[in-house]
Each structure stands twice: as C-alpha cells, then as structure tokens.
C-alpha cells in the first residue's frame, strides 16, 4: 500500500504518519516512510511518503499511490497527482473541520477524524489496529471519539 | 535472545549501531540531516555524548577518546567535515587506538544546506575506508562493522549517510545488547604514532600507503560489497539510496551493491562485469565510483545517464535506466510540477526575536550586511531583505572584516547567531579587534541552536545531557578581548534596539551589539496574550513588512491570527497608527 500525506508544518502530518507506521509494526507489516524536513517547520509544505509491505525505497512516484491524505485543502490538486487511477483522496471539508473544533475544542483532533476516514476506505487495517495506538496518546478519549466519527 | 522490533530513522539506527558496537564516546556539532544522532546516542547507559562548539572540536574530542581507549565517533553534516578536514587528514597518519568512526550526513538536493558537496571524496583525499548504508537496518549493522574495520586497519573510518537515509523511517529488528567484542584498551602513549612532527609523519605516511594496499584487497573480500544475481543480462553498480531505487525499478538486473565504497572493490567488480552485456553505475551526486572504475580501466558509464546534481528519486533513476536502455519506457509520468503549488514562502516564526533587527536594518540604505547560517538567514528574503551574503558558518564576521577595509561608503554590518558565533565567529571577532575593522557586529543571542531543532549551545546554560552551567556571557567575552563598544539589548524593546543599531552604524569603529531575546520556540514555547487589529487600521501595510506569518491582509485591513500570534508586540511597535493594533482584552 502506498500512502502520501500532504500538510503544512505544525499540522500533525508527521504524527499521523507515525500512527500508521506504529500500527503497521504492531501488525507485523513491513513499512518505510520518508518526509521533507527543514524549512517545513517554518510553515512550508510537508510531504510524507509511506510504503507498507511493498518496495525497497520509501519514495512514491506521481500516479502510483493508493491513498493521498490531505490536511490542507489548498494542496488537494497536488495530492491528487500522486494517486493512481483507482486511488482514493482522503480530505476534510471546512464544515467538518469547524464541527470538530466545536466538538473537541481544538483543530488538532481533525487528524484523528481523517485517520478514521482513511481506515474506512481500506481493508489492510481495522479500526482496532488504530485505536490500540491512539489509546496511548495524550487526550486519548477525544482522539478516539474523533477517530470513530471519521470511521462512521 | 529477545529481538527488538521498531520503526526508526537512519539517524537513530546509527546511534543504535554505535552502541551495539561498544562505542562509549561521541561528540559533534548539530547540522541537518545529522543532528539527531547524538540525541539518540546519549540515551544509552554508560556512554558519554556531548556537543562541541564546532565539528573540528567534536572530531578531535572523539579522537582523543579513542586514544584514551574508548570506541568513539564524531557526527556532523557534510559541510561540517570541511571544518574538521584538518584533523581528518592527519588522523589518517596517526591512526587510532580504539575504533574511531567519522559519521557525516550529506544533503543531496540541499534540503537544508548551502551546497551539496559529495563527501565521499574525503575518503579518497585522506586514504581512509568509506562505508555507506542504504537504509536504517543496514545502518545498525554497518556502524558496528565500521568500528571493527577501524581497529583492524588502525584508521578512522568515514561513515556516510544522506538526508534520505538519515531521515527515512524503516522497520528494524535487532538484538538490543552490545556486541561481545569489547576490548579493554588503555590510554595509548606512543610518541612515534601520535606526535606528527616531520620525522614521525614521514614514517606514518608510508605506513598509511601500505595500509591502503591492504584496504584495496579488503574491499574485494568484505561481505558488504555483494553481488545479487538477476535474470536479465545487465548489471547495476549502486550504493546507498540509489541501490534501493534501482532495485525497486529493475529487480531482475544483476546488482553489485556497494556498502564499502572506498577503496572500490575493483577485482570483484571486474568479475561481476565479465559476462554481462552492459553494466552501469547508479550513484547520487558526483561520479565517485565511476571515476574509480574508469581509472582501473573498466569502461563503465554512469553520469552519461544520470544527473550529477540534486537528489535522486524513483523518477530520476527510472529516467536514467531508460536512457541507458535498461528499460524500454517509463511507467510513470510527473503530472504536477511544484511551481503550480500554492506558495508558502519560508518565514521567521511568529514572535521570532530576529524580526525587529532585520526590520531595523531594512530601513538603512547605506549598509552592507554580511550574514551567516541559521534561522536568521531568512532575514535575507523579502520583504525583510536585509542580508547581502551567506557563505558558510562564521563567514559573516570574517567577510565583514575584509569588506570593511576596502568599502568606504557603506558601513559593514555583520549578523551572526550565538551558536554560529561559538562555532567559528570567535576568531574573526578577535581579528576585527586586532585589525581595527570599522564594522557593527550584531550577535543574535537566542540561547539555542534553533535551525537544527533546538540543540543547546554555550549560551544555553545547559548541555546535551541537560546538566546546567553558567552560560558563556558574550558581552563579557567581547570586552575581555578588548572591544570597548559592547551593548546588550532586548529586541522586543523595538525603540531601544533601533536607537542602538542606528547609533552604532553611524559611529566610526568596531562595535558589538548583543540581542538577548531567547528563541520563542525552544527550549520553552513562549506564548503571551495575542494582539488584535482594531477598526483604526488604515490599511497601510507597514505591519506586513515585518513578514510575520500571523499577520494577513483582507478587505483592505490587517488581520492577526490569534492562534499563532505569540504576543511579541513588534507589529504594534512598527504600526504608525496609535490604537490600530492592541493586546487582546479579557485574558
């Protein structure tokens, strides 16, 4: 499975990739991941590639990803370029984002929601796989609730 | 034996490999992409890990630890080895006592560097072994092996990573215990080996040349130079991440995977190439391996098909394999070029204490600003546009010294951060004093090495192991040199900062201004009450000129993003309208 995650610095793209990576390791899957560091911290684009159970390098070519997860909608078109024909774009509408801020008090829980949406769209991971990782997080309850909202 | 299974970065893998290889001492200077190695290494029991002021000092500390009997290593980014090149060249003569490894991380593509030099040439230059992993798993094993090679040949070993190896994550499984090969070595007092006066050095050079002959043979025999047979009658010689890309695209080719890349395994490659229709080299940056093969009389091409600059990707390697005729056509196409992306120019963080200094410098017309390496290099970008040079660590001051002797119309202003000042700014500060330079030096003392992720420096007051010390006081230091005009200022006090900078630029002679406000992110995140724009805003855009990411402009007025605003009030200080920007009430 090839996953591309696109966001901007400070939005939690790296944390999101780490959750998926941890879940992969817990399941005994082979995973490689790479990100663009450096200037990202100063508000630039963060681009993360993840390959699970395939490939030797972590690099993902455009037109080949199974999933593109977009945390900043301004980059949706760019993210789509990574998808293969049957690939799936995972993103959040502004209404959904506002709803999460209202409900949980912080935009950072949007990533758990988006993780849920990703889980719903594939068969490699189950909801339990992700909940097992999320339960060790700070604000585990809120993160798991937001995640479950995404799965539904 | 219970194996540990984890997903880790190449940098963590290097630290684990060093620990497993019984290294107990490490030093270095932070630099992307190498910075995290020491942070990981310091967590192990029974090890000493410490930052040095620069790479040369870190290298020499590790060499000293080796002579004292501890397996040791030094870490640095590629350009850091330029600073440590002096001890590198001569430690190849002296050799080592306990295993000694020089870890350098190159940055092809310049994600966070001023150049993309290929440090493999340092191995050739110094005549020392070169080891290169291609992923996290190999990094653990190769690092342990590097110490063994170092002791076997009595030489420093160059261990080269790249951004893509250091910062990629991979799943590894390893025995967390250290290797069972720890030697009890004592401090090695050996005049002929370690005192490089000509009489001794002449002998040691001859010995180095003898060792080098043995290394050539060793390279043919080491298991980390390995042949992987395929079904197609073509061969690919590759190292590091290039191997992973090429193997992923064309798994059926014969592969010669190079892990020990200097000296090159010439005889083994001759055997490999003998019965193949065509063999090529796939290597990022310079034609290092290709040149070695051509010198040995092998007609093997590489750079004929692959670029000599920039970072490789699957796309670039696929292109090259296509040009070489190894694959018929490309499967993928790049459909979206990055130029179409919404622009997010890099900028100083909200609340960054460097901002007021560059805003003030921007208002001066007749000054020449020599800059340096750090977050504050962003002060060179519009709209701040207040920096005219950035070459390498410490060059702001030394270039300023030279410029000030020639340029008579424009005052020279040199801007340098605290960590960079301690790295290589001290010596040119002394030169400025001794040579009576007419220049204004601004030291942005934010008490941390911010650009690389917040490593402590002599100004921080705590070290890598969080042990406190009385911070090195830059003002006292400058005065101790003999400089008279030394001033300290808090940049959030915009008016006071402007007054001092303006006055010193107008004053003939050498002055040092130390801007004392700490980094807003590290070691502690600082967030005060945010500011808001009132209906008095006249839409003059003066506040946009300070390039704060928290300030935007909509419907002809400025707006401040309260979630990111740190409350530094610099926008308020530059705003020409009283009451247009105010601290948010009710907090």
CATH code 3.40.50.920 for B225-323: yes
Neighbouring residues of B358: CB distance < 8 A, sequence distance ≥ 6: B348, B376, B379, B384, B386, B387
CATH among 3.40.50.10490, 2.40.50.140, 1.10.287.1060, 3.30.70.20 for B531-583: 3.30.70.20
User: Where would I find the H helices in B229-285?
Assistant: 240-249, 266-273
**C-alpha to C-alpha distance for A118 and A110, rounded to whole angstroms:** 12
Nearest CA in chain A to B113: A38
CB pairs under 8 A between A and B: 102
Give the side-chain half-sphere CA count within 13 A for B169.
Answer: 26
Neighbouring residues of B429: CB distance < 8 A, sequence distance ≥ 6: B397, B421, B441, B478, B481, B483, B512
User: Where would I find the H helices in B449-555?
Assistant: 474-481, 494-506
Instruction: Report the topology of domain B4-221.
Output: Rossmann fold (3.40.50)
For A102-131, what is each residue's pLDDT tens digit? 999 888 899 999 999 999 999 999 999 999
The position carrying tokens 């942070």 is B39
Is B354-515 the same fold as B225-323?
yes
Q: What angle do CA B76, B80, B86 make, to 5 degrees?
A: 115
* Minimal Cβ distance to B346: which of A22, A35, A39: A39
Determine the pLDDT at residue B528.
95
- Ranges A105-109, B112-116, B133-137, B515-519: which has the least confidence: A105-109
Given a contact cutoff of 8 angstroms between Cβ atoms, the answer to whether B208 and B93 are in contact is yes
Q: What is residue A134's three-state secondary structure? A: helix
* Minimal Cβ distance to A31: which of B7, B334, B336: B7
**C-alpha to C-alpha distance for B320 and B561, rounded to whole angstroms:** 47
**Over residues A10-32, mean pLDDT:** 91
Given a contact cutoff of 8 angstroms between Cβ atoms, the answer to whether A59 and A41 are in contact is no
pLDDT band at A73 (very low <50, low <70, confident <90, very high): confident
**C-alpha to C-alpha distance for A105 and B85, rounded to whole angstroms:** 53
Give domain limits for chain B.
Answer: 4-221, 225-323, 354-515, 531-583
Q: Which of B3, B167, B522 to mutate to test the interface with A (most CBs of A within 10 A)?
A: B167
**Over residues A5-12, mean pLDDT:** 82
B354-515: CATH number: 3.40.50.970
Given a contact cutoff of 8 angstroms between Cβ atoms, the answer to whether B217 and B98 are in contact is no
Whether the pLDDT of residue B25 is over 60: the answer is: yes
**Over residues B509-527, mean pLDDT:** 96
Give domain limits for chain A.
Answer: 2-151
Which residues 22-51 of A have a C-beta within 8 angstroms of B?
22, 24-25, 30-39, 42-45
Given a contact cutoff of 8 angstroms between Cβ atoms, the answer to whether B215 and B263 are in contact is yes
Given a contact cutoff of 8 angstroms between Cβ atoms, the answer to whether A88 and A123 are in contact is no
> Of the candidates B439, B445, B412, which has an alpha carbon nearest to the alpha carbon of residue B515?
B445
Q: Which two tokens stand for residue A35?
A: 């990100």
Determine the pLDDT at residue B201.
98
DSSP tag of B97 = S
What's the whole-number average pLDDT of chain B? 96
B171·A30 Cβ contact <8 A: yes
pLDDT band at B344 (very low <50, low <70, confident <90, very high): low
Using only C-alpha atoms, chain B has a radius of gyration, in whole angstroms, of: 27
Q: How many CB atoms lie within 10 A of CB A56?
A: 19
A2-151: CATH number: 3.40.920.10
**Over residues B440-461, mean pLDDT:** 96
Determine the pLDDT at residue B339.
41
For B282-328, what is each residue's pLDDT tens digit? 999 999 999 999 999 999 999 999 999 999 999 999 999 999 999 99
**Over residues B6-15, mean pLDDT:** 96
Q: What ipTM goes with this model?
A: 0.91
pLDDT band at A40 (very low <50, low <70, confident <90, very high): very low
Whether the pLDDT of residue A42 is over 60: the answer is: no
Whether the pLDDT of residue B544 is over 60: the answer is: yes
A25·B6 Cβ contact <8 A: yes
Share of chain A above pLDDT 90, in %: 69
> Of the candidates B383, B491, B400, B478, which has an alpha carbon nearest to the alpha carbon of residue B438?
B400
Whether the pLDDT of residue B23 is over 50: the answer is: yes
A32·B168 Cβ contact <8 A: yes
User: Where would I find the H helices in B435-574?
Assistant: 474-481, 494-506, 570-574
Residues of chain B found within 8 Å of residue A98, distances taken between Cβ atoms: none
Residues of chain B found within 8 Å of residue A74, distances taken between Cβ atoms: 342
Q: Which of B4, B168, B330 to mutate to test the interface with A (most CBs of A within 10 A)?
A: B168
Distance from CA of B467 to the nearest CA of A (A): 27
Residues of chain A found within 8 Å of residue B332, distances taken between Cβ atoms: 61-64
User: Where would I find the H helices in B274-345?
Assistant: 288-295, 314-323
pLDDT band at B335 (very low <50, low <70, confident <90, very high): low
For B69-123, what is each residue's pLDDT tens digit? 999 999 999 999 999 999 999 999 999 999 999 999 999 999 889 999 999 999 9
Whether the pLDDT of residue A41 is over 50: the answer is: no
Whether the pLDDT of residue B450 is over 50: the answer is: yes
**Over residues B351-373, mean pLDDT:** 97
> Of the candidates B390, B384, B514, B517, which has an alpha carbon nearest to the alpha carbon of residue B442?
B514
Whether the pLDDT of residue A38 is over 60: the answer is: no
Residues of chain A found within 8 Å of residue B342, distances taken between Cβ atoms: 74-75
**C-alpha to C-alpha distance for B518 and B353, rounded to whole angstroms:** 7
Whether the pLDDT of residue B65 is over 70: the answer is: yes
Residues of chain A found within 8 Å of residue B170, distances taken between Cβ atoms: 31-33, 58
């Amino acid at each position: 499975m090839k996953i591309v995650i696109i966001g901007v610095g400070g939005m939690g793209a790296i944390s999101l990739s780490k959750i998926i990576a941890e879940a992969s390791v817990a399941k005994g899957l082979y995973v490689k991941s790479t990100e663009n560091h450096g200037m990202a911290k100063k508000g630039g684009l963060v681009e993360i590639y993840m390959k699970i159970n395939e490939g030797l390098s972590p690099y993902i070519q455009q037109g080949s990803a199974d999933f593109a997860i977009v945390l900043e909608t301004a980059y949706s078109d760019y993210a789509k370029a990574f998808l293969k024909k049957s690939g799936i774009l995972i993103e959040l509408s502004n209404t959904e984002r506002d709803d999460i801020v209202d409900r949980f008090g912080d935009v950072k829980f949007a990533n758990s929601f988006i993780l849920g949406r990703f889980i719903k769209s594939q068969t490699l991971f189950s909801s339990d796989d992700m909940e097992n990782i999320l339960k060790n997080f700070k604000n585990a309850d809120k993160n798991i609730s937001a995640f479950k909202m995404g799965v539904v | 034996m219970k194996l540990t299974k984890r997903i880790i970065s190449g940098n963590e893998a290097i630290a684990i490999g060093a620990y497993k290889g019984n290294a107990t001492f490490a030093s270095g200077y932070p630099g992307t992409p190498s910075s995290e190695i020491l942070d990981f290494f310091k967590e192990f029991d029974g090890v000493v890990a410490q930052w040095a002021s620069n790479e040369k000092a870190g290298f020499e500390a590790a060499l000293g630890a080796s002579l004292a009997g501890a397996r040791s290593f030094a870490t640095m980014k590629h350009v850091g080895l330029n600073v440590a090149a002096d001890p590198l060249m001569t430690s190849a003569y002296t050799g080592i006592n306990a295993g000694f490894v020089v870890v350098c991380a190159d940055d092809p593509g310049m994600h966070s560097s001023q150049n993309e030099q290929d440090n493999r040439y340092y191995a050739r230059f110094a005549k020392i072994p070169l080891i290169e992993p291609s992923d996290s798993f190999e990094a653990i094993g190769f690092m342990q092996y590097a110490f063994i090679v170092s002791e076997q040949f009595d030489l420093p070993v160059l261990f080269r990573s790249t951004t893509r190896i250091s910062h990629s994550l991979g799943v590894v499984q390893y025995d967390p215990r250290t290797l069972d090969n720890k030697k009890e070595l004592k401090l090695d007092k050996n005049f002929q080996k370690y005192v490089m006066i000509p009489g001794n050095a002449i002998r040691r050079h001859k010995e180095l040349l003898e060792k080098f002959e043995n290394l050539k043979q060793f390279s043919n025999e080491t298991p980390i130079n390995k042949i992987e047979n395929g079904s197609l009658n073509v061969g690919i010689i590759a190292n590091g991440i290039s191997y992973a890309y090429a193997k992923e695209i064309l798994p059926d080719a014969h592969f010669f995977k190079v892990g020990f890349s200097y000296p090159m395994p010439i005889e083994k490659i001759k055997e490999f190439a003998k019965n193949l229709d065509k063999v090529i080299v796939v290597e990022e940056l310079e034609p290092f391996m290709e040149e070695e093969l051509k010198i040995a009389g092998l007609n093997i091409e590489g750079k004929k098909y692959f670029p000599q600059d920039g970072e490789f990707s699957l796309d670039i390697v696929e292109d090259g394999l296509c040009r070489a005729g190894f694959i018929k056509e490309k499967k993928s196409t790049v459909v979206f070029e990055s130029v179409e992306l919404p622009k997010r120019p890099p900028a100083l963080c909200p609340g960054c204490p460097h901002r007021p200094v560059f805003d003030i410098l921007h208002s001066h017309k007749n000054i020449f600003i020599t800059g340096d390496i750090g977050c504050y290099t962003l002060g060179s970008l519009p709209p701040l546009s207040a920096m005219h040079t950035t070459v390498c660590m410490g060059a702001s001051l030394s270039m300023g010294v030279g410029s000030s002797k020639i340029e008579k119309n424009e005052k020279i202003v040199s801007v340098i951060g605290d960590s960079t000042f301690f790295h290589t700014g001290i010596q040119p500060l002394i030169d400025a004093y001794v040579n009576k330079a007419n220049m204004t030096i601004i030291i942005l003392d934010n008490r941390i090495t911010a650009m690389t992720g917040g490593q402590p420096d002599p100004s921080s007051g705590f070290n890598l192991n969080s042990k406190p010390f009385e911070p090195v006081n830059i003002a006292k230091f400058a005065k101790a040199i003999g400089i008279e005009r030394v001033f300290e200022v808090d940049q959030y006090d915009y008016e006071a900062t402007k007054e001092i900078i303006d006055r010193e630029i107008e004053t003939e002679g050498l002055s040092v201004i130390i801007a004392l406000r700490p980094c807003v992110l590290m070691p502690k995140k600082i967030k005060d009450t945010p500011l808001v724009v009132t209906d008095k805003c006249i839409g003059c855009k003066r506040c946009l000129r300070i390039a704060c990411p928290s300030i935007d402009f909509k419907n002809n007025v400025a707006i401040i993003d309260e979630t990111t605003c740190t409350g530094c009030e610099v926008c308020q200080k530059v705003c020409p309208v009283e009451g247009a920007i105010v601290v948010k009430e009710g907090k």
